[in-house]
Structure 1
Amino acid sequence: MKSLISPATAHAGMQLPKRQQGVVLIITLIALVAMTLAAIALVRSVDTGNVVAGNMAFKQGAVQSGDIGTEAAIAWLTGVAGVAASYNDDAANGYYATSQENLDATGGSNDLGRALVDWDSNNCNSIAAAACIQPSPVIAANAAGYEVRYVIHRLCPATGLPSNCASTASTVAGTSSGAKDYTSKGGLSGEAEVEYYRITTRVKGPRNTISYVETIIHF
């Protein structure tokens, strides 16, 4: 009995598996490319997450190290606050007897009348400014490589006696201790006036991470 399948039909039947194999190969290649792209995206995501976490850790370490600089500034002030030694600038120790309202401690302003701080001992990087003031000597915060420096400003408009300095208000005579007379100077219970100081601490981390901490204190 002769076969009912013509030669053309038989030829077509033999090519069908090869076409299916070609389609499967294309699908496999597409899936492989998709998986590769997904793996690359995952690696990049993990790498970015590690970088962000590392930067945050260094930033937090810099802020914590700022406490060391602030405490050192307070310790230095304890010996001079309120006495003649505090009436004038002491640039070698990062102390200034006026508030310097034009101070730009972070260097973020473009005002030519600003006063910059020479944090990196490079003459304020030769940036045009009205003044380039000196901070305290470098304080090594810890073995991790954090460097701390600070500047102290007495909140007064001029050097000399603190007669026009910022101070607390005195109580109003004949009233409870809660009533304050802001035109007179003195403590909250009428005691002798106190002076306020602004401490600006700058911390530079091992990855050039920089943080600033500002503290207002009084004696």
Structure 2
Amino acid sequence: MSMKSLGIGNRGNLRRQKGMVSVLIAIIVLVVSLLAAVALMRSVDTSNTIAGSLSFRQGVVQEAERAYSAAKDSATLYPEPSSDGNQPTLGYYATPQAATVRPDKDIPDILVNATCPSTAVVCLPGLNTNNTVLYVVERLCPAIGPANPGTCVVPGASIQGGSVSNQTKDNGPPFSSGAYAAFRLSVKVIGPRGAIGYVQTVMR
């Protein structure tokens, strides 16, 4: 009886051990499956974030083109004497403005800190993109007053007969002839979820 009882006890222990091993394996498989599912979700989320970022970047470029057209059409700003002084309500400044907020030190603080409506920058009417577009124009001269071809930045300029003329200009204003300086356009686009993009170009 004792030997039979011992044999039955051993078989029972073996069954319990096999059962525990099976449960342990099932738990490990479950954990691995959960980890794989979390990794897949994060991968999909990252892909969506990248796609959204690329879409917003494309939108920023399109909005910057709209700001460029609007700034270029402001023909009364650029000829002297209109360009000799600041006109904040028109988003125009006769000298480069302080740029200390962003690490690249290129975007003027008045634009970085601006929101619409504003009396220091231009806010463009909204389109169906739901983006907010703001811009400023800065004359690339060191001081307020008449442009000096010796100190102002004049892109593509050549000196002929004591005057300065721009040989590579866009169609229409702002340049025709004379000692006109270059103008820098800075655009800020505020998109969905507070996303912000900047674009800069020199108008010539």
Q: TM-score, normalised by structure 2?
A: 0.75
Q: Which amino acid aligns with 1:166?
A: V
Distance 2:183 2:91 in 1: 13
Partner residue in 2 for 1:142: 127
CA contact (8 A) 1:62 1:209 kept: no
Partner residue in 1 for 2:48: 50
State the SS of the aligned residue for 1:157. coil
Distance 2:143 2:8 in 1: 107
Partner residue in 2 for 1:93: 90
- Compute the RMSD of aligned alpha carbons: 3.3
Larger mean CA deviation between 10-19 and 61-70 belongs to 10-19
CA contact (8 A) 2:147 2:180 kept: no
Distance 1:70 1:207 in 2: 25
Unpaired stretches in structure 1, ≥5 consecutive residues = 124-132, 174-182
Cα deviation 1:83-140 (Å, max 9, x = unaligned): 322222211101112234xx21x7226x9xxx730512699xxxxxxxxx8112x113
Partner residue in 2 for 1:170: 159
CA contact (8 A) 1:68 1:141 kept: no
Distance 2:135 2:65 in 1: 11
Of 109, 121, 130 in structure 2, the residue corresponding to residue 116 of structure 1 is 109
State the SS of the aligned residue for 1:9. helix
Distance 1:89 1:213 in 2: 22
Partner residue in 2 for 1:178: none
Distance 2:88 2:147 in 1: 19
CA contact (8 A) 2:92 2:137 kept: yes
Unpaired stretches in structure 2, ≥5 consecutive residues = 169-176
Change (3 A) 1:55 1:187: closer
How far apart are 1:192 and its partner, in Å? 4.4
Q: How many equivalent pairs are there?
A: 187
Q: Which amino acid aligns with 1:19?
A: Q
Distance 2:129 2:27 in 1: 49
How far apart are 1:187 and its partner, in Å? 4.2
Q: Which amino acid aligns with 1:49?
A: S
Partner residue in 1 for 2:172: none
Change (3 A) 1:122 1:11: same
Partner residue in 2 for 1:179: none
Partner residue in 1 for 2:195: 209
Q: Which amino acid aligns with 1:89?
A: N
Q: TM-score, normalised by structure 1?
A: 0.70
State the SS of the aligned residue for 1:99. coil
